[in-house]
Amino acid sequence: MDDLKSEVVNVAAILDRAAIEPGAPENLRVLTAPDWESLIERLRNETAIRFVALFIDGGRVYLLLRCGEAIVPVASPLNEGTYFAVSRVRPEAAWYERLAHDLSGAVAEQANDERPAIALGSAGEDPAWPGFRDTPGDGEYQIGLGPVGGLIAAPYHRRLTLDGNVVVATEHRFGYTHRGVLRLIAGQSPRAAARTCARIDSEACVAHAVAYARAVEAASACSLPPHIEEIRGKMLALEHCTVSLLRLARAAAAVGADRLATRLITLRCTIADTLEAIFGHRLMMDVVVPGGMAVRPDLSAWSVLGDVLQDIDTVTRPFGGWSIRKRFGSNASFAGDWARRARKEAKEACIAPWHHDAEPTVAPIPDHDGFGMGAAASAHGLIHYVLSLELGVIAFGFIVTPGASVAEALERASRFMRIDDFMLRSILVMPPASGIDL
Partner 1 sequence: MTQSTKHSDIVQGLAARLAAAGETLLGRSLAIRHVDAGSCGGCEMELLSATLMWDHLGCHGICMVEDPRSADILLITGVSSTGLAEAARQCLAAMARPRFVVAVGDCAADGGIFKGSPSVLGGAAAILPVDLVISGCPPSPARIISGLLTVLDANRAASALGSPVGRL
Binding mask 200-229 for partner 1 (x = CB under 8 A): xxxx-x------------------------
Question: Does residue 179 touch partner 1 according to CB under 8 A?
Answer: yes
Question: Does residue 246 touch partner 1 according to CB under 8 A?
Answer: yes
Binding region for partner 1 (CB under 8 A) out of 150-158, 306-314, 373-381, 402-410? 150-158
Q: Considering beta carbons, is residue 45 or 262 the nearer one to partner 1?
A: 262
**d(Cα 354, Cα 101) in Å, to the nearest integer?**
46
Q: Considering beta carbons, is residue 133 or 259 the nearer one to partner 1?
A: 259
Closest among 247, 283, 282, 281 to 265, alpha carbons compared: 247
Residue 151: CB minimum distance to partner 1, A: 4
Residue 97: CB minimum distance to partner 1, A: 21
Question: Does residue 393 touch partner 1 according to CB under 8 A?
Answer: no
Question: Does residue 351 touch partner 1 according to CB under 8 A?
Answer: no
Question: Does residue 19 touch partner 1 according to CB under 8 A?
Answer: no
The CA-atom distances, in angstroms, between 251 and each of 51, 230, 418 are 32, 32, 16
The CA-atom distances, in angstroms, between 225 and each of 42, 92, 217, 291, 355 are 43, 39, 12, 8, 10
**d(Cα 402, Cα 380) in Å, to the nearest integer?**
7
Q: Considering beta carbons, is residue 9 or 143 the nearer one to partner 1?
A: 143
Q: Considering beta carbons, is residue 253 or 295 the nearer one to partner 1?
A: 253
Residue pair 376/383 in contact (Cβ under 8 Å)? The answer is: yes
How would you label 348-366 residue by residue, b for 16+ Cβ within 10 Å and e otherwise?
bbbebbebeeeeebbeebe
Q: Considering beta carbons, is residue 19 or 148 the nearer one to partner 1?
A: 148
Binding mask 254-293 for partner 1 (x = CB under 8 A): -------xx--xx-xx--xx--------xx-x--------
**d(Cα 16, Cα 297) in Å, to the nearest integer?**
46
| Strand boundaries in 59-180, DSSP class E | 60-67, 70-77, 82-84, 107-109, 141-145, 157-163, 166-173
Task: Tell me which of 34, 180, 226, 320 binds partner 1, using CB under 8 A.
Answer: 180
Task: Tell me which of 130, 144, 149, 225 binds partner 1, using CB under 8 A.
Answer: 149
In single-letter form, the type of residue at position 157 comes to H
Binding region for partner 1 (CB under 8 A) out of 81-89, 198-206, 287-295, 341-349? 198-206
Residue 211: CB minimum distance to partner 1, A: 15
* Omega before residue 130 within 30° of 0, cis: yes
Q: What angle, rounded to 10 degrees, do the helices at 332-349 and 419-429 form?
A: 10
- H or E segment and range at residue 288: strand 288-289
Residue 348: CB minimum distance to partner 1, A: 22
Task: Tell me which of 50, 66, 191, 195 binds partner 1, using CB under 8 A.
Answer: 195
The CA-atom distances, in angstroms, between 389 and each of 97, 188, 209, 319 are 24, 10, 17, 47
Which parts of 72-131 interact with partner 1 (CB under 8 A)? 120
H helix intervals, 228-355: 228-254, 258-279, 302-315, 322-328, 332-349
- Residues at the contact surface with partner 1, assessed by CB under 8 A: 120, 147-155, 175-181, 183-184, 195-196, 199-203, 205, 246, 249-250, 253, 261-262, 265-266, 268-269, 272-273, 282-283, 285, 432, 434, 437
